Structure 1
Amino acid sequence: MTSTTESASLSEFDRDITITPEGDDFTGTMSDGWRVGGGINGGFQLSFIGNAIRSALPDHPDPVAVSAYFVSPAVAGPARAAVRPLRVGGRTATVAADLKQGDDVRLTVLATYGDLAGFPTDDVRTTAEPVSLPPRDQCVPNTMAPDEIKQMAPFTQRFEMLFDPDEVGWAVGEPSGRGQISAWFRLADDREPDPLSLLMAVDALPPVTFDLGLMGWAPTVELSAHVRAKPAPGWLRLRHRTRNVAGGMFEEDCEVWDSTDRLVAQSRQLALLPR
């Protein structure tokens, strides 16, 4: 239980993922501030249920691998997380968890958790190239979005996002067709990134189909996220890409790089094309 004084000192993100043990489950309230259109953002849902998993596994506080299936749209209001540890080992634990509102399952998750502080850090071999972005003062801020977009998707006001100016043609009706969107990213309140917030970051950018000229909500079917390291303080750099649109669906690959050029999170999701 978080006291009123403690809650007031928390960042917006931490306040909104606050959960309370209730029997074998955890309860909390998902804020309308994380809504996109008619539903709560999927990445925020992952952080919300991820906080419940972390609370159930005090010796394994960090998400390592999370596979999530989005069963029905989550809405603002009370929510319950049911966490079922399947195996708790020395280095990692495997759990299943469901996010529910009333009798409806919103999200079902299978995850591996551990303590990233104890993972080896002296052997990093990465052939991936860090996301290259212009200086932040040369990028396009999300605060420039029209008021109607801010009202339709208040989620976008929960963080600072500075887009690569070469990849925002979609915002003025001139998508590049490359299927790529990149941006600087930082949570509101200057809240520093951590493994739990990375679960939200991998789903923070607009759907990459915007860059293909396909605007609108793109419901996620499944999302798999890998958290590779604790991020260093400072701005993150995000990049979404797609290479295959087929059968009314598309894949969206995300990379998250921290301020030290470390690849700290990766994800792939399968989503429906915007209606």
Structure 2
Amino acid sequence: MAQGTIGNSEFDRDTALTRREPGTPGTSAVFDADLSAGWTIGHAVNGGYLLALLGRALGGTLRHPDPFTITAHYLSASAPGPAVIRTEQIRASRSLSTGQATLLQVDEHGAEVERIRVLATYGELDALPEDVRTTAKPPAVPPHERCLSSKDGDPATAPEIAGRLDIRLDPATAGWAIGAPGGQGEMRGWFGLADGRDPDPLALLLAVDALPPAAFELGVTGWVPTIELTAHIRSRPAPGPLRVSLSTRNLAGGYLEEDAEVWDSQDRLVAQSRQLARVMRTF
């Protein structure tokens, strides 16, 4: 695979948008997209990939370029193929812009179905002050060569998205893969794109929902679809692989929360998220 760069990579090609006219620049827009089958888990398109796609659409609509906070409600499972994204700027000030976006597809009956609705606030990451005061610490993840890759398993059972990513899991949080979950509700690992493209804010939106669910380490099996996800982008990431940690503390009533932290190669906390997910099958 050719080395990917920001703006010229598989991720960028698969999140490319075609802007329709009419649309009012700076206030609203309509985009055509083609959801790639390469980012699926089973028959559904990955939620982080979709979040990045909508994030790109809002970045092409709002006055400011970078996502600061973005909240997505996943209304129905997205399928590979054509989609339409409609965006609208709600408010803009000197430092922030707030907008909304929705992704729609046509179902097998020819009816338009809303898949995702997003509300987001954008700004300029490069304009933020450099002062950092934090008690957060990066996760302790073993070196790449001591972590587990999807290539270590049966390729026939790996989801399509595994071929687009370079994920290396901490063996201490991968007991579920051999039928021995640790029971701690944690997942840690390295995250990168398979073609070596460096991370940017859109890649961070993918990263917060790219690792296997932390619920797997509780003994949960099967599909764990996201109901709602809120991501905070805190800084533009430095080049190099990212470290991601996931945790869940409460599975009740068939739903659980999952908190994510994403750290860059300079040990900076560059993204955080929380999602509510549904457990379709428990134990």
TM-score when scaled to structure 1? 0.93
Give the number of equivalent residue pairs: 263
Once residues 67 and 280 of structure 2 are traced to their aligned partners in structure 1, the CA distance between those partners, rounded to angstroms, is 29
Aligned to 1:14: 12
Which SS does the other structure have where 1:191 is aligned? coil
Q: Which runs of 5+ in 1 are unaligned?
A: 1-8
Deviation at 1:120, TM superposition (A): 1.0
Please point out which of 139, 146, 152 is paired with 1:131.
139
Distance (Å, rounded) in 2 between the aligned partners of 1:130 and 1:147: 31
Of the structure 1 ranges 252-261 and 141-150, higher mean CA displacement relative to structure 2 is found in 141-150
Distance 1:86 1:31 in 2: 29
Supply the distance in 2 between the matched residues of 1:251 and 1:274 (Cα, whole angstroms).
14
Match of 1:77 in 2: 81
Q: Which residue does 1:54 correspond to in 2?
A: 59
- State the match for 2:216 in structure 1: 210
Q: Which amino acid aligns with 1:10?
A: N
The answer for the alignment partner of 1:233 in structure 2 is: 239
Please state which structure has a larger fraction of its residues in helix: 1
Residue 55 of structure 1 and its aligned partner are, at CA, apart by: 0.8
- The answer to whether structure 1 residue 104 and structure 2 residue 109 are counterparts is no
Task: Give the partner amino acid of 2:55.
Answer: G
Amino acid in structure 1 at the alignment position of 2:244 = L
Match of 1:174 in 2: 180
1:158 maps to what in 2?
164
Cα deviation per residue 1:125-148 (whole Å; 9 max; x = unaligned)?
A: 111111111111111112123123
* Secondary structure of the corresponding residue to residue 183 of structure 2: coil
Residue 95 of structure 2 corresponds to residue 91 of structure 1: yes
- Distance (whole Å) between structure 1 residues aligned to residue 254 and residue 147 of structure 2: 32
Deviation at 1:149, TM superposition (A): 2.0
| SS of aligned partner of 1:47 | helix
Q: Which amino acid aligns with 2:79?
A: V
**SS at the partner of 2:122?**
strand
Aligned to 1:116: 125
The range that moved more, 253-262 or 128-137, is 128-137
List per-residue Cα deviations over 1:145-169 (Å, max 9, x = no partner). Answer: 312322xx20122111111111111
The residue type paired with residue 233 of structure 2 is V
Equivalent residue for 2:35? 30
- Specify every segment of 5 or more residues in structure 2 that has no aligned partner in the other structure, as ranges: 1-6, 24-29, 107-111
SS state at 1:160 partner = strand
Letter in 2 for 1:125: R
Percent pairwise identity: 48
